[in-house]
């Protein structure tokens, strides 16, 4: 007989004479003459309750069934007299696939710290919290693809191994096929030149936007930053849409629409899993999410943001002056205290932004934007791109970038150049927003951080 997933069993339209479920035992309680088994198969947060009468045969099997064991149970799906569940199973047979030794199995029924669970990242998706997390992670990824596909954006796989450094700013991992300590001259190496792990697919995505119109990437990116903070990992996933024939206002519109779509989608599709986080992880989660959904995001130029900060009468750790990059304390003040909702700050000083952002008519700012969200800080960073070849070349000159290295990028401005804009969103940041989880290590299956490469 075919297995029925527990999610489907719990949503059954009516009783079933014959049902087979398979999963991992969360708890077993023995009573006189029968036992209760709570079974979970990962298809949903919820367990199905199995009541199974004792016979000598059943009892000998139940002896081997403890928390964590993998079992198959057949029986009848019946209305549950208990509270909180519509259906339960009257078990007829139980078979053990794999036992879990109760002395050594690390996930006994009790709360475990996130720190401890990180040391068993291979087992933590069997807990309620991390099962919920990774179901939400999966659904959020589906939602991203759906959002862009519905709008006619094409998904592009930009390269992971790259010879170019998008941000013009270091901290990249090197990739090599040479042994450590071997003669490391690039011409002996696999690609015949230095190779790195990408920090952004933007430059490649621009080539596709200027061909297919509207595109997005969704793939892993890397930073070799030696920071051990709750917000940094060496490997994370990023979404980068890029639109031809679009300006900075279009870019902000797209970002706002996307964020709202994703939150709505997760609330609709993962109610049980989100509820777990709202109950146990962040009591304010629902308010935060409603706050993001209910109103238009504030939009203000950087220059105005500096004014507001200067007039706020706050003593910031980093003094506020025009030309500085906004620090987390400033960003949090703007969205949490001043506007009390998500805020786009746009038109940043040219001097603190990369070469590819479009220079505004004032000559000293660029058409850049950051989307700041309560509790998370920067969720999105984007810009209209510089489509004018002469201005772009001027900027590259100022910043000491070699035209030769970017010959192909510059070609897109030589041949049929057009206004275009895009942004990047860290996938894990978005997950932290929708779950309230504050450590990025707890939203990634197997996080990569300095001195940590287990699993």
Q: Which of residues 337-376 bind a second copy (CB under 8 A)?
A: none
Nearer to a second copy (CB atom), residue 209 or residue 320:
209
- Contact between 437 and a second copy (CB under 8 A)? no
Applying CB under 8 A, among 15, 63, 168, 190 the residue interacting with a second copy is 190
- Contact between 91 and a second copy (CB under 8 A)? no
Nearer to a second copy (CB atom), residue 124 or residue 353:
124
- Contact between 99 and a second copy (CB under 8 A)? yes
Backbone angles phi, psi at 210, to 5 degrees: -85, 20
Secondary structure letter of residue 229 according to DSSP? S
Applying CB under 8 A, among 49, 158, 383, 384 the residue interacting with a second copy is 158
Secondary structure letter of residue 405 according to DSSP? T
Bridge partners of 301?
346
Nearer to a second copy (CB atom), residue 207 or residue 300:
207
- Which positions ≥6 away from 50 have C-beta within 8 Å? 21, 36, 37, 38, 39, 73, 75, 88, 89, 90, 91, 94
The site map against a second copy for 280-309 (x = CB under 8 A) is: ------------------------------
Q: How far is the CB of 307 from a second copy (least distance, A)?
A: 33
- Contact between 227 and a second copy (CB under 8 A)? no
- Contact between 261 and a second copy (CB under 8 A)? no
The site map against a second copy for 103-132 (x = CB under 8 A) is: -xxxx------------xxxx-xx----x-
The answer to whether 198 and 158 have CB atoms below 8 angstroms apart is yes
Four-point Cα dihedral 409, 410, 413, 416, nearest 10: -70
- Contact between 22 and a second copy (CB under 8 A)? yes
DSSP β-ladder status, 154-155 and 161-162:
unpaired
Kind plus residue range of the DSSP H or E element containing 345: strand 343-349
Applying CB under 8 A, among 80, 303, 338, 452 the residue interacting with a second copy is 452
Determine whether 448 is exposed, middle or buried from the number of CB atoms within 10 Å of its CB (0-12, 13-18, 19+).
Answer: middle
Candidates 10-18, 73-81, 171-179, 354-362; binding stretch for a second copy (CB under 8 A): 171-179
CA distance 71 to 73: 6
Q: Which residue has tokens 């209910």?
A: 294
- Contact between 98 and a second copy (CB under 8 A)? yes
- Contact between 245 and a second copy (CB under 8 A)? yes
HSE, CB side, 13 Å, CA atoms: give it for residue 328: 4
The answer to whether 433 and 379 have CB atoms below 8 angstroms apart is yes
Nearer to a second copy (CB atom), residue 17 or residue 187:
187
Chain residues 385-424 in contact with a second copy, contact rule CB under 8 A: 387, 408-409, 411-419
First-residue to last-residue Cα distance in the chain: 35
Applying CB under 8 A, among 27, 43, 85, 303 the residue interacting with a second copy is 43
- Contact between 134 and a second copy (CB under 8 A)? yes
Nearer to a second copy (CB atom), residue 91 or residue 342:
91
Candidates 83-91, 172-180, 321-329, 365-373; binding stretch for a second copy (CB under 8 A): 172-180
The answer to whether 395 and 351 have CB atoms below 8 angstroms apart is no
CA distances from 397 to 17, 392, 402, 403 (A): 76, 9, 8, 8
Q: How far is the CB of 272 from a second copy (least distance, A)?
A: 14
Closest CA to 58 of 73, 69, 80: 73
Applying CB under 8 A, among 61, 175, 278, 281 the residue interacting with a second copy is 175
Closest CA to 447 of 240, 294, 298, 236: 236
Q: How far is the CB of 191 from a second copy (least distance, A)?
A: 4
Which tokens belong to 336? Answer: 């949490």
Applying CB under 8 A, among 16, 46, 61, 212 the residue interacting with a second copy is 212
CA distance 331 to 47: 42
Q: How far is the CB of 54 from a second copy (least distance, A)?
A: 23
Q: How far is the CB of 286 from a second copy (least distance, A)?
A: 24
Q: What is the total count of residues that contact a second copy (CB under 8 A)?
A: 109
């Amino acid at each position: 007989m075919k297995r029925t997933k527990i999610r489907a069993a719990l949503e059954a339209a009516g009783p079933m004479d014959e049902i087979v479920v398979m999963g991992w035992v969360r708890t077993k309680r023995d009573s006189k003459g029968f036992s209760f088994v709570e079974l979970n198969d990962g298809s949903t947060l919820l367990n199905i309750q199995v009541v199974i009468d004792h016979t000598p045969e059943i009892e000998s099997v139940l002896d081997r069934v403890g928390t964590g064991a993998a079992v198959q149970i057949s029986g009848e799906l019946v209305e549950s007299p208990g509270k909180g569940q519509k259906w339960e199973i009257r078990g007829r047979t139980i078979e053990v696939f794999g036992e879990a030794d109760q002395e050594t199995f690390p996930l006994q029924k009790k709360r475990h710290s996130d720190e401890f669970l990180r040391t068993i990242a291979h087992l933590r998706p069997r807990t309620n919290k991390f099962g919920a997390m990774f179901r939400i992670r999966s659904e959020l990824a589906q939602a991203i693809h759906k959002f862009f596909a519905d709008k006619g954006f094409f998904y592009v796989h930009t390269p992971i191994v790259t010879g170019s450094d998008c941000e013009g700013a270091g901290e990249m991992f090197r990739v090599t096929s040479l042994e450590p300590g071997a003669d490391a001259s690039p011409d002996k190496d696999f690609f015949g030149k230095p190779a790195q792990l990408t920090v952004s697919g933007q430059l490649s995505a621009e080539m596709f936007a200027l061909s297919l119109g509207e595109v997005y990437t969704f793939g892993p990116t890397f930073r070799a930053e030696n920071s051990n903070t709750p917000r940094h990992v060496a490997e994370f996933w990023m979404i980068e849409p890029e639109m031809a024939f679009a300006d900075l206002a279009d870019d902000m519109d797209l970002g706002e629409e996307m964020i709202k779509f994703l939150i709505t989608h997760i609330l609709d599709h993962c109610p049980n899993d989100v509820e777990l986080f709202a109950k146990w992880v962040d009591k304010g989660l629902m308010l935060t999410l409603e706050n993001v959904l209910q109103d238009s995001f504030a939009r203000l130029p950087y220059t105005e943001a500096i004014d507001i900060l200067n007039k706020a009468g706050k003593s910031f750790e980093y003094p506020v002056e025009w030309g500085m990059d906004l620090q987390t304390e400033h960003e949090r003040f703007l969205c949490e205290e001043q506007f009390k909702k998500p805020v786009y700050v746009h038109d940043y000083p040219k001097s603190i932004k990369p070469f590819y952002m479009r220079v505004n008519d004032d000559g000293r700012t660029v058409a850049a934007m950051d989307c700041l969200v309560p509790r998370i800080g920067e969720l999105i960073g984007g810009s209209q791109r510089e489509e004018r070849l002469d201005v772009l070349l001027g900027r590259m000159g100022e910043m000491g970038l070699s035209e030769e290295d970017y010959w192909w990028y510059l070609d897109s401005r030589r041949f049929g150049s057009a206004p275009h804009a895009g942004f990047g969103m860290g996938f894990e940041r978005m997950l932290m927003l929708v779950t309230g989880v504050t450590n990025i290590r707890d939203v990634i299956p197997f996080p990569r951080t300095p001195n940590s490469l287990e699993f």
